[in-house]
Amino acid sequence: MTCLNCGNCKSGDSAYFCLMKNDFVVNEKNAAVVEKSRSGWKKGDPNYELHRRKTRKEVEV
């Protein structure tokens, strides 16, 4: 099958849909690895127990 010249592969995106392949293509040289940021309450936080008790109390009611 020949290329349909849709221009998706030339857009420079890290992922695009190829009409010729009828599939998504991931361009590995443009794909950036993003680390998951962990936010929220942790056991090391001084207010962790207060927050945990408060949320448990709200759930029970």
What is the pLDDT at residue 45?
76
Nearest C-alpha neighbor of 28 from the set 7, 14, 8: 14
Query: Are the CB atoms for 20 and 5 separated by under 8 Å?
Result: no
pLDDT at 61 over 70: no
What is the pLDDT at residue 1?
67
* Digit-coded pLDDT (tens) for 11-58: 878 888 998 889 998 887 776 777 877 666 666 777 888 888 888 877
Query: Are the CB atoms for 2 and 9 separated by under 8 Å?
Result: no
What is the pLDDT at residue 24?
92
